Amino acid sequence: MSINTYSEVLVQITFLESKKGGRSVPFGQGFSPKLILDGNPTEFFTELNIDESETLFPGDQTKLEIKIKGYPGIYLHAGASFDLLEGSQIIGSGTIMKLIK
């Protein structure tokens, strides 16, 4: 049995509303929050695959592809939960839906 590593995944994310600690402004392409997997203290830099014409707002729930940068691949599995951070503040949380590559 082989174990594969991944750095690109499809996720379901809920971004926190600003009154619950989320961002206070919308965001789009180029936004790169950090990701922390449930039960793992390591913070990973990410690149969210947001279409250049799309704008996301605090409180939105969406499916996105995420690339985890700076690592050749990490051990992930569908169903794993994570938080998204901006600085030390949690701005969203989600679940890995599908492993891409």
Domain with residue 80: its CATH number is: 2.40.30.10
Residue 32 lies in a domain: yes
- Phi and psi at 66, nearest 5°, equal -125, 135
The pLDDT, as a whole number, for residue 12 is: 97
Rounded to an integer, what distance in angstroms lies between the CA atom of residue 71 and that of residue 94?
A: 20
pTM for the whole thing?
A: 0.88
**Total number of domains in the chain:** 1
CA distance 41 to 48: 21
Would residue 50 count as lying in a domain?
yes
To which residue do tokens 């990701």 refer? 35
Tokens 């961002």 locate to: 23
The answer to whether residue 1 sits within a structural domain is: no
Residue 71 counted as domain residue:
yes
CA dist 42 and 17 (Å) reads 25
Q: Does any domain span residue 25?
A: yes
Q: Is residue 77 part of a domain?
A: yes
pLDDT digits (tens, 9 = 90+) for 56-68: 999 999 999 999 8
Its domain, for residue 43, covers 8-99
